[in-house]
Structure 1
Amino acid sequence: MLNNGAYDERFKELMQEAYQQDASEQGTADRYLLPGADRRMIANIFQSEPVQVSPEPKKIRLWPKIAVAASIAAVMGIGTLIYVNRHNKHNIETLAVNDVAPGKVGATLTLANGKKILLTDAVNGQLAREAGVKISKSKNGQLLYQVTGDGGEDKINTLTTANGETYQVRLPDGSQAWLNAASSLTYSASLIKNGNRSVKLTGEGYFEIAKDKLHPFVVETATQKVEVLGTHFNVNAYTDEAAVATSLLEGSVKVSSSSGAHMIKPGQQALNDGAGIKVVKTDVDKVVDWKDGEFNLDEVDFRTAMRKIARWYDIEVVYDKSVPENIEAWGWISRSSKLSSVLKLIENSGLVRFRIEGKKVYVFK
C-alpha cells in the first residue's frame, strides 16, 4: 500500500498502537470507528493474505461521519487519529468524574382525595379503592386498575413522572399506557366519562388500546384530541417541542384540533403546531424507542436528541454559540447507560464536546 519502506513500518506501528489502545479502552476496536470494509483494508496492511470479515450486526454509530473520517485517516495517515483518540480519552475521563446515572422506573399517583402515593416506594398489592375500582401495584411494578363495581366516574386520578422517571399503567378497560419522563396522565378511576374512555396527557405517552366499539378511547392534550377504537399509537406533547406529534403503529386514529380533523394510518405521524395539522411519514422505531429502553437517534436533530437525553437524565443542556444549528444525531444506545457513555459516543464525532458540571451539561465545538 505504501511505497516508502521506512514509513511503511512506522505506519504499521502507529496503526497497531491506535488499534490496541482503542480496543483496551472501549472493549472492541471497531465499536465506534471502523466498518467491515475499513478493517479489511487494515488487515491487508498487516498480512500478505486478506482476512475475511463476517457480516456484522447493526452497531452503535451515533455519528456515521466518524466512520468516514476514520477511513480517510487510515489512507492519509494515522497520526491525526491517534491524537484524536488521546484527546477524546482526556474528555472521557473528565465526563466520567462528573457522571450522571440514568433514569428509573418511578411515578407518583395522586388519588381523588389528594393523597399522593410514591409508586417507587409503595409495596406490591392493593394501594387504594376508588368507588368500585381497585388500584394495585403488580409484582413487576406496573400500576393496575380493576373495576369491581359501579361508580368511579367522578374520582379523578393523575399519574405523574418526573424527569428521569418512566412508568406503565393498565387501565380499567385493559388498555396499556406507558409514560415517558416529565409526563402526566389524568383519568377517572373507572376510565369512562361521558360515554368515552377518556384520558388527558401532558408530555409523552404510548398507548395500546383494548377494542371497545361502544366506547371510543380519547387522548386529550392542550391543543388536540386523538380518538381511537383499538390501536397502538404514541403522542408526544412536550411543550418545548415545536409540534404535538401523534404517531400510529397499528389500526387508525383521528386527530382533531380547532383547525380540523385528520385520519392517519400506520407509519404516519400527525404534526400539530397550533396553526394546523400536517400528516407525514415517520419511522415508528425512532418514535417509541423510549418505551423499549433505548435512544434511537438516527437522523434526529441534535437539539431534539439532547432534549430527550436531558429529560431522562434530569439535566440542563447549555449550548455555546459555536455549536452549529444543523447537526443531526445518528445511531442508538441503551437508556440504561450512564450519561458519560452517551456523551462519549457523541464526542467521537469530533463535531461537539461536552463538560458536565453538576446537573448542567455544557456543549461546545
Structure 2
Amino acid sequence: MKKNITKLLLGTITENEIVELRIWLQDPKNQAILESYVRDYHDLNLATIKNNLDEAYNKVSHQIDSNDKPVKKLFPNWTRYAAAVVLLFGLAFFYQQGFFATSNPEVLVPKDDSITLELDNGTIQTIDVNGAIEVRDSEGNVVGSQQQNQISYSKAHEKEVLVFNTLTIPNGKKFQIELSDGTLVHLNAGSSLRYPVNFLSDGPREVFLTGEAYFDVTKNVSNSFVVNVNELDVKVLGTQFNVSAYGEDEFIDVVLVEGAVGLHKEDELQADAVKLSPGQKGSYEQASNYIQVNEVNTSLYTSWMQGHLVFRDLTFNNILKKLERHYNVEIINFNEVLGNEVFNARFNSVAIEEVLGYFNDIHSIDFRIEENKVIIK
C-alpha cells in the first residue's frame, strides 16, 4: 500500500490505485490509523489547517477527479480532512506505522556513552541509570542520591559558599535532576547543567545550561531562579518552561508552559527584560541580540521528554545533527543541495531507519549504512 498512499499524497494516483486504497480503507483498523493522525496533528497549527484545507484538498481532488471517479464517493468524509493535513505536515506518521521501511543489509548500532557527574574538585563519576548510589561531595559528605534516571539533592549540608556540580548527558540519553530547592530539571540528549549542590539562602538561584532542558521551578518569591544560557538569562520565581540552545541552532528558544519568565541579556537591566506569558515562545537571535515572541503549541516543544522528534522549518543538515544527538549515531551527508533544504516532520519513538526512510521516499535520498555510519550521497 506504500505506493498508493504516496501517490495519493502527491496527487498522481490512478483510478485502479484509488480502488485498491479504498479497499484498504474499508478495514476499520486502517481507518483508525488515519483518524489518529488527524487527532495528533490537527492542533499543530489549527489556523494554518483551516486556511489551507480547501486549497490542499482541491489540489488532491483535481488529480483524482481526472480519473472520472468522484473523490467524495470513494472516501469517507474524514479522509478529505486527513489527506489535506498529510499534505500540509508530511508523511512522517506513515513511517511510524511501518509502511515505508527501507531495506539495508547492515544494521545501525547506536553508541552507548555514559552520563557523567563532575564534582567541584574536578573528579568525574559515571552514572549507571540502572543502579542507585549516594552522591557525595569532594569531602565525602552525602549531599544527595541517585535512583536510576534521576539525581536528587538535599539541604542536609548547606554551605556558606556555592559549590558546583556539572551533570553531562551524552547523545542518545535523557536524565533528570532534582535540585536542593526541589526544582526538577529534565535534561535532553547532548546537554549539560552546572548547578550548586545547595543554593544560598540569599541571592538568586542560578544554574548554567548547555543544550536543552525542561524546568519545573519551585516557587520562591525571595530568591529568583535564573537559567544562564550563553549570553541570555531566563529569570523566574516559580514556573514551568523549556529552554533549547544547541550549538547548531540560530536561536535560543524559551517556551513557557506555566507562570511567567523574563528574558534579557547578561549586560542588560532586568527592567528591560522581555516578558513571556503561558503559551508563548521567546526566540533570542544570537547574531542580532533580538528577541521575538510568538504564540505556539507548547506540547510540540516539550514532546522530546516522551521520546518524540519534532522538526519545524529546519534545514536537512540541522535535522541530521538532531538525529545524531537523539540516536547517538554518526551521519555523514555529501549532498550539499539537500543539506540546505527546509523540512517539517514529526516522529513518535521510531527507529532511525524509519526516519531516514521518510526522507528517502519524499526526496529519494541515497543513503547506506557503512561501518556503523549513515552515509548520504
- TM-score, reference length from structure 2: 0.69
2:240–2:258: 8 Å Cα contact kept in structure 1? yes
8 Å contact kept, 1:62–1:298: no
Q: Is the 8 A contact 1:302 1:329 kept in 2?
A: no
1:218 is the counterpart of 2:226: yes
In the alignment, is the contact (CA less than 8 A) between 1:286 and 1:297 conserved in 2?
no
Measure the CA separation in 2 of the matches of 1:116 and 1:133. 16
**In the alignment, what sits opposite 1:234?**
242
1:135 corresponds, among 141, 144, 149, to 144
Matches within 5 A, 1:194-273: 195-257=203-265, 260=268, 261-266=273-278, 267-273=280-286
Deviations 1:91-138 (A, max 9, x none): x112x623244989x621112233322212673142325677622112
CA distance in 2, matches of 1:51, 1:19: 10
The answer to which structure has the higher helix fraction is: 2
Other structure's SS at 1:323 match: helix
Q: Alpha-carbon deviation of 1:65?
A: 5.5
Q: Return the letter of the residue paired with 2:181.
A: D
Deviations 1:265-320 (A, max 9, x none): 22222313143132221442232222221002355443333221121122234241
Name the aligned partner's letter for residue 249 of structure 1: V
**Structure 1 residue identity aligned to 2:136:** A
Deviations 1:132-191 (A, max 9, x none): 7622112x5311111114317432211001122211111111101111112111112103
Equivalence for 2:45 = none
* C-alpha contact (below 8 Å) 1:130/1:152 kept by paired residues: no
Q: What is the rounded CA distance, in whole Å, between the counterparts of 1:257 and 1:318 in structure 2?
A: 35
Equivalent in the alignment of 1:98: 107
Query: Size of the alignment, in residue pairs?
Result: 321
Q: 1:338 aligns with which of 330, 341, 351?
A: 351
Gaps of 5+ in 2: 1-13, 39-56, 93-98
Give the counterpart of 1:348 among 361, 365, 369.
361
Aligned counterpart, 2:319: 305
The aligned runs of 1:109-124 (5 Å cut-off) are 109-120=117-128, 123-124=131-132
| CA shift in 2, pair 1:148/1:66, >3 Å | closer
Deviating more after overlay: 231-240 vs 11-20: 11-20
CA distance in 2, matches of 1:97, 1:14: 35
Shift of the 152–348 alpha-carbon distance from structure 1 to 2, 3 Å rule, reads farther
Query: Could you say which residue in structure 2 is the equivalent of 1:72?
Result: none
- Report the 3-state secondary structure (helix = DSSP H, G, I; strand = E; otherwise coil) of the residue aligned with 1:190: coil
Q: Kindly tell me: are residues 358 and 152 of structure 1, through their superposed partners in 2, closer, same or farther at Cα, counting changes over 3 Å?
A: farther
1:285 aligns with one of 299, 315, 322: 299
Looking at structure 2, the residues matched to 316 and 151 of structure 1 have their Cα atoms a distance apart, in angstroms, of 46
Deviation at 1:210, TM superposition (A): 0.5
Instruction: Name the TM-score, length of structure 1 as normaliser.
Output: 0.71
Alignment-mate amino acid for residue 355 of structure 2:
V
CA RMSD of aligned residues (A): 4.3
Instruction: Specify the SS of the correspondent of 2:198.
Output: strand
Q: Is 1:163 the equivalent of 2:177?
A: no
Query: Residues 212 and 246 of structure 2 are in contact (CA less than 8 Å); yes or no, is this contact kept in structure 1?
Result: yes
> SS state of the match for residue 318, structure 2?
helix
Q: Distance in 1 between matches of 2:22 and 2:30?
A: 12
1:227-261 deviations in Å (ceiling 9; x for gaps): 11011112222222212222222211111215743
